[in-house]
Amino acid sequence: MNNAHCNASPSKEELNTLLGVAHMSICMWDVDDGATIPTTDEPLMEGDAEDYFTGKLAGTVGPFTELNPPVNPFTITPAPTTDPAAGASAAASGDQSQRG
């Protein structure tokens, strides 16, 4: 990525470093260095796609779509409203009464 810039105040950034035929850009958010992890829908890095990436490597550019949000392991999952075991036993006892 050329002419890159990081959004959301990263703790470390290395932008537009030339590596042979293309540029390298890095944005890092390290909480140990006091950075806050970005939580908005704003892109983390923006810039221009390299001709080498889109031409020679046949890469594509554009926003990612339909990404699943990260799961918070500390969120309590609500209990089901019906007991699955009771539903299965009720169905089984109903089947037996129809046979008799």
Q: What is the pLDDT of residue 74?
A: 66
**Which amino acid is it at 7?**
N
Place of tokens 């050329």: 2
Phi, psi of 65 (to 5 degrees): -125, 155
pLDDT at 20: 82
Residue 4 CB neighbour total at 10 angstroms? 19
pLDDT (tens digit per residue) in 14-41: 998 888 877 888 899 898 888 888 888 7
Phi first, then psi, for residue 53 (nearest 5°) are -70, -50
Judge contact between 35 and 29, C-beta under 8 A: yes
What is the reported pTM? 0.48
Residues 55-81 have a mean pLDDT of 65
